[in-house]
Structure 1
Amino acid sequence: MTQSDRTAFTRMFAPDGTVLLHPDRPAAKYRPLRALRNFRTLMKDKEDTAAVFKIFESLPSKDFMPRIAELALSEQGERLRQTEAWLPDILDDHAALRRTPKGSLAHAYCDFMEAEGLSAAGLVAESDRTGRERYPDLVEWYINRSRDTHDLFHILTGYGRDALGEASVLLFTHGQQPSQGHLLIGYAGAANIKKMAKGTKAPVLGAVRQAHRTGKGAPPLIAQPIRELLARPLEEVRQQLRIPEPTLYRECHRVWQAEGVNPYDLLASSKPAEPELLAA
């Protein structure tokens, strides 16, 4: 991003006066070697969330600011900021979510989060531990919304929290919010999984490619009214968002079961990390 572009973004405001890009927010720096070092760290322990954050920080997307401006300064973005100002409060209110009809996205979300011992607030806390400075701008709103919708991606796509499931979710996300960080962790991670499952016949690379295609074909989840989607039947939401069954991912699990491979043992730790999915 040129200095003139940056200056222009600092002069754009939402109707309520919130600036698009705070002038004090540091410019992102492209540091591929730092990204590679942290990727190696992540492959040793896929629960090292700090390494995930550093990968994304080191590989900033050139179209990140235009993408934020397109949503945040639109009428839809304004509605979302007014009705869903802080998604963690909505997503962690399981009592309210459970009052939606059975079979809803909300019920599936609660089932997933409770089974995995996760919470939206927990992901916020992981993000806060990185020490990243916060700024009162629309970039912050977009980053937060990207992070807070991550676990919904798991529910909507059908990808689990095993290493292949996380790689698939990242490539689905790249299809929606492109960044080199998604590509690095997604495809290089899948290659490492294939290497770890020596001699496997599971279509690992085919599975992540399918996830990538699905993400490209689906409308951006970040721009959807999450509160409304939560109340609707899960299958209906998947159809609306054009998200088909993850057939190759499930085939991988079927093959691994036959081969005696535990998908949670394909990288160093037993559970995958929950990365803050921002494309900064």
Structure 2
Amino acid sequence: MTDASVMNSATRGAICASDGTPLRDPSRPQPKYEPLKAWHHFRILLKDKENTAEVFKIFEALPSKTFIPRVRDLALSDQGEHLRATEADLPSILDDHAALRRLPAGSVAHAYCDFMEREGLSAAGLVEESEKADRPTYPDLIQWYGHRLRDTHDLMHVLTGYGRDALGEQCVLLFTHGQNPSHGHLLLGYAGAAHMKRLRKTSAPVWRAVRQAHKTGVACPSLVGMSIRDLLAMDLAEARQMLNIPDPDWYRECHRVWRQEGIDPYDMLAPASAQEDLAAA
């Protein structure tokens, strides 16, 4: 029996795309809601915010009840079929900076390349980080949708104007929650902000910044359902206007206040004593 025959037999009667890809692979286990496990991984993440594998473990422990309906609505639509045909591998598109640089100056593509090159990042690198969580993958539409969410994370930084500092990451996560709600985004965003407030005595408007990010995500059309190729070709300012993304002024105000208070926004999670030593050096 061929692999195709096995798949057809296994998915017979299941909800599938036109090419036979199932919405949910029959072997995919039902997710379990495990808040204590999520909290455990969150505490590990607080010790090393670059440990991206813990982020994926948190999401896995806090599955959203509305996730599958969102996958179904997009993946089984004409738009979803088009995206699967034209953007099957987003990392290869996003990491081809030579091709992206041929798009007009001022475009989302140029801003994306600038950001990724400045930060030393790549879409393939994010894939590698997600694989460190050692989670099985399945040939279904859930996997496709989840990969688009993962692969567009850094693009969200570019579109929203939030940096890769701790607050910027939390703002992007809450922006993402506004688009694709899950308790994982809420935990990382709001609990992370609360941890930051406990760690530092500061007058910076952290709560205003994260709430603004959350509201922006709600007002913005779903990025995962858009053509990323088309979005990359757009003028950055015009794309932000189309997507209802305002200037992240409360986030910028936090950075201004922190600098005034002698706090490095990009080292917020370091002990206060380390910050003082750095300032005295």
User: CA contact under 8 A between 2:53 and 2:131: conserved in structure 1?
Assistant: no
Q: 1:258 to 1:82 in 2, by over 3 A?
A: same
Corresponding residue number in structure 1 for 2:66 = 63
* Pick aligned residue for 1:160 from 158, 163, 187: 163
In 2, Cα distance between the equivalents of 1:67 and 1:74?
Answer: 11
Correspondence 1:25-174 to 2 at 5 A: 25-174=28-177
In 2, Cα distance between the equivalents of 1:262 and 1:197?
Answer: 11
SS at match of 1:219: coil
Which portions of structure 1, spanning 4 or more consecutive aligned residues, are displaced by more than 2 angstroms? none
Post-superposition Cα deviations, 1:203-237, rounded to whole Å, max 9, x if no partner, equal 00110000000000110100111001101100111
User: Alignment RMSD, CA only?
Assistant: 1.6
In 1, Cα distance between the equivalents of 2:160 and 2:186?
Answer: 18
User: CA contact under 8 A between 1:20 and 1:137: conserved in structure 2?
Assistant: yes
- The answer to whether structure 1 residue 187 and structure 2 residue 198 are counterparts is no
User: Following TM superposition, by how much is the alpha carbon of 1:9 offset from its aligned partner in structure 2, in angstroms?
Assistant: 11
Corresponding residue number in structure 2 for 1:226 = 228
In 2, Cα distance between the equivalents of 1:49 and 1:228?
Answer: 28
Unaligned runs of 5+ in 2: 1-10, 272-281
In 1, Cα distance between the equivalents of 2:12 and 2:97?
Answer: 38
In 2, Cα distance between the equivalents of 1:50 and 1:256?
Answer: 29
User: Following TM superposition, by how much is the alpha carbon of 1:197 offset from its aligned partner in structure 2, in angstroms?
Assistant: 2.0
User: Following TM superposition, by how much is the alpha carbon of 1:126 offset from its aligned partner in structure 2, in angstroms?
Assistant: 1.0
In 1, Cα distance between the equivalents of 2:66 and 2:270?
Answer: 34
Corresponding residue number in structure 1 for 2:274 = none
- The answer to whether structure 1 residue 255 and structure 2 residue 252 are counterparts is no
| Identical columns (%) | 66
* Pick aligned residue for 1:264 from 259, 263, 266: 266
Q: Which has the larger radius of gyration?
A: 2
User: Following TM superposition, by how much is the alpha carbon of 1:50 offset from its aligned partner in structure 2, in angstroms?
Assistant: 2.3
SS at match of 1:146: helix
- The answer to whether structure 1 residue 177 and structure 2 residue 180 are counterparts is yes
User: CA contact under 8 A between 1:92 and 1:119: conserved in structure 2?
Assistant: yes
Deviates most, 40-49 or 208-217: 40-49
User: Following TM superposition, by how much is the alpha carbon of 1:10 offset from its aligned partner in structure 2, in angstroms?
Assistant: 7.2
Post-superposition Cα deviations, 1:241-267, rounded to whole Å, max 9, x if no partner, equal 111110100000011111111012111
| AA at the equivalent of 2:253 | E
Corresponding residue number in structure 2 for 1:240 = 242
| AA at the equivalent of 2:181 | P
SS at match of 2:137: coil
Corresponding residue number in structure 1 for 2:203 = 201
User: Following TM superposition, by how much is the alpha carbon of 1:156 offset from its aligned partner in structure 2, in angstroms?
Assistant: 0.4
Q: How many pairs were matched up? A: 262
In 2, Cα distance between the equivalents of 1:9 and 1:129?
Answer: 33
User: Following TM superposition, by how much is the alpha carbon of 1:132 offset from its aligned partner in structure 2, in angstroms?
Assistant: 1.0
User: CA contact under 8 A between 2:107 and 2:234: conserved in structure 1?
Assistant: yes
Give TM-score, length-normalised by structure 2.
Answer: 0.91
In 2, Cα distance between the equivalents of 1:206 and 1:10?
Answer: 49
Q: 1:134 to 1:71 in 2, by over 3 A?
A: same
In 2, Cα distance between the equivalents of 1:74 and 1:268?
Answer: 46
User: Following TM superposition, by how much is the alpha carbon of 1:48 offset from its aligned partner in structure 2, in angstroms?
Assistant: 1.8
In 1, Cα distance between the equivalents of 2:13 and 2:269?
Answer: 42
SS at match of 1:229: helix
User: Following TM superposition, by how much is the alpha carbon of 1:268 offset from its aligned partner in structure 2, in angstroms?
Assistant: 4.3
| AA at the equivalent of 2:89 | W
